[in-house]
């Protein structure tokens, strides 16, 4: 499924259908580093080039994909901001320790469940569309398309905001579906029923199990 492949490319970007997501806070006007379109393009190309050169290694040991994602993609994703949106109202009442545990467990869960999908992804499937962002804006959308095996193209848009460390991505929308919003809805229901501590513990316990022993229902967002 194309969504699973791109969840791996996005990895730390959560969600909630129908929920209202607050706009990123304004950041300094002068932002170091590349523009949003160049940032996404360079990161994706670097990662896919490495995968293409070492595909057999990654297929044999999918855990090695995590190190690649950590090095190439993670520095350009605002995982804390995304996690805050995923937790919504629960972020405000969570302790610093709970926030840290949730961000870490959620990110690792995404990597474990979807990282292996990257081993089958090739650079020729990714198509970058002309960037239409406003250089003066603190927000940007980088539009891409992913080519399916049958030739059909799937729209994949990255949402970024300007930070003191440069542009960072915080959401991805695939075929019109925001994954921040989707995960937010799923986690909100579970947290309301069980409490935040139990949800975090469930993610952490799940990560400790062998991958083949975990049911599909234990995946983040039920995907």
| DSSP-assigned letter for residue 122 | -
Kindly report the pTM of this predicted structure.
0.76
CATH assignment of 2-16+30-211, given 3.40.190.80, 3.10.450.710, 3.30.1050.10, 3.30.930.10? Answer: 3.10.450.710
- Report pLDDT digits (tens) over 46-89: 999 999 999 999 888 877 888 888 888 888 989 889 889 999 99
Which residues, in sequence order, are CB contacts of 140 under 8 Å at separation 6+? 36, 37, 133, 134, 159, 160, 161, 162, 167
Domain boundaries, the chain: 2-16+30-211
Q: What pLDDT is recorded for position 216? A: 43
Q: What is the largest CA-CA distance in the chain?
A: 49
pLDDT band at 149 (very low <50, low <70, confident <90, very high): confident
Q: 68 CB contacts (<8 Å, ≥6 apart)?
A: 47, 50, 51, 58
- Main-chain dihedrals φ then ψ at residue 138, nearest 5 degrees: -90, 0
Which two tokens mark 154?
């799937």
Q: Does the pLDDT value for residue 160 go beyond 90?
A: yes
Element containing residue 200 per DSSP (H, E)? helix 196-208
Separation in Å, CA 216 to CA 119, 177, 211, 223: 20, 21, 10, 7
| Predicted pLDDT at 130 | 95
Say what the pLDDT of residue 70 is.
Answer: 86
């Amino acid at each position: 499924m194309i969504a699973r492949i791109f969840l791996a490319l996005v990895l730390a970007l959560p969600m909630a259908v129908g929920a209202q997501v607050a706009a990123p806070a304004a950041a300094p006007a002068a932002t170091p580093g590349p523009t949003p379109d160049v940032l996404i393009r360079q990161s994706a190309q670097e990662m896919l080039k490495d995968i293409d050169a070492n595909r057999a290694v990654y297929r044999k040991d999918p855990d090695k994909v995590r190190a690649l994602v950590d090095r190439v993609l993670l520095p350009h994703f605002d995982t804390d901001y995304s996690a805050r949106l995923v937790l919504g109202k629960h972020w405000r009442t969570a302790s610093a320790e709970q926030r840290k545990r949730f961000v870490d467990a959620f990110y690792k869960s995404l990597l474990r469940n979807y990282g292996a999908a990257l081993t089958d992804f090739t650079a020729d499937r990714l198509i970058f569309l002309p960037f239409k962002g406003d250089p003066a804006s603190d927000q940007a959308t980088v539009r891409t398309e992913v080519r399916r095996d049958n030739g059909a193209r799937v729209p994949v848009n990255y949402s970024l905001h300007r930070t003191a460390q440069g542009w960072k991505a915080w959401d991805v929308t695939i075929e019109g579906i925001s994954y921040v919003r989707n995960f937010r809805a799923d986690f909100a229901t579970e947290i309301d029923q069980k409490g935040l501590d139990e949800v975090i513990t469930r993610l952490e316990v799940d990560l400790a199990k062998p991958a083949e022993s975990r049911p599909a229902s234990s995946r983040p967002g039920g995907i």
